[in-house]
Chains A and B, each alone.
Chain A
Amino acid sequence: EAGVTQFPSHSVIEKGQTVTLRCDPISGHDNLYWYRRVMGKEIKFLLHFVKESKQDESGMPNNRFLAERTGGTYSTLKVQPAELEDSGVYFCASNGAGFTDTQYFGPGTRLTVL
């Protein structure tokens, strides 16, 4: 069974540009989460999808970030326009039904904004 995959693995963009990150969860997982780790700091929650609906988006930093999960399968996270402080590693995780179910993480996308 394939794990959580993320694309791209690295992205280097200039301030003001747009970047779209993609996450493919484990097949059949209804829950999808986005997290971010800024250099040297803790991994922080961004948002949680249940199927195609946003269950919790309390961690989204501002309206430059837009997450979608059309059809309840893969998800995209768009940053527009990117700022220097958006640099970091963006992780995606998924799990099935049940709050004690393990969240399985992808390898992350390292975003560098110059």
Chain B
Amino acid sequence: AQSVTQLGSHVSVSEGALVLLRCNYSSSVPPYLFWYVQYPNQGLQLLLKYTSAATLVKGINGFEAEFKKSETSFHLTKPSAHMSDAAEYFCAVSEGFGNEKLTFGTGTRLTIIP
């Protein structure tokens, strides 16, 4: 069985500060990992995904995440927060072929302080 833990249901950072959203996963097979973002009144949008290639994954809007097998982590970072980054962020894991369903964490709501 797979699971995802997102530490911190709410995170606030100042505009221009580092954004760090934490995600730890559990999977019985090599995982495929995803970060999605949901802006108000919109659907989920993929930020980035790890599919067993490079461990440092770059996504849209300046976000990146690093897969660390030893720590079972896939934390999301952005060097400098913008006001437009305010949204809810979801980490998800999939076991891949034959079991493509996504298992999500509970989400982290990011607030940007002007």
Q: Residues of A with Cβ closer than 8 Å to B?
A: 3-4, 31, 33, 35, 40-45, 48, 56, 58-59, 91, 93, 99-100, 102-108
A100 to B93, CA, bound (A): 11
Stretch of B13-21, B62-70, B78-86, B97-105 on the interface side: B97-105
List B contacts of A106 (CB < 8 A). Answer: 43
Is the pair B94, A105 in contact by a Cβ cutoff of 8 Å? no
Tell whether A48 pairs with B96 under 8 Å between CB atoms, given A42-B107, A43-B90, A102-B49.
no
In the assembled complex, which residues on chain A have CB atoms less than 8 Å from the CB atom of B102?
33, 35, 43, 45, 93, 103
A42-B106, A42-B107 known; A105+B36 contact, CB < 8 A: yes
Q: Are A48 and B101 in contact (CB under 8 A)?
A: yes
- Of all chain A residues, the one with the shortest Cβ separation from B36 is A105
With A33-B101, A99-B97, A100-B32 as given contacts, are A41 and B43 in contact (CB-CB < 8 Å)? no
The answer to whether A41 touches B46 (Cβ under 8 A) is no
- The total of Cβ contacts below 8 Å across the A-B interface reads 60
Min CB distance B99 to A, Å, is 7
Q: A42-B104, A100-B51 are in contact. List 13 more A-B contacts (CB 8 A).
A: A3-B43, A4-B43, A35-B104, A43-B102, A45-B102, A45-B103, A91-B44, A93-B44, A93-B102, A99-B97, A100-B49, A105-B43, A105-B44
Q: Could you say which of A42, A44, A45, A108 contacts B43, with CB atoms under 8 Å apart?
A: A108
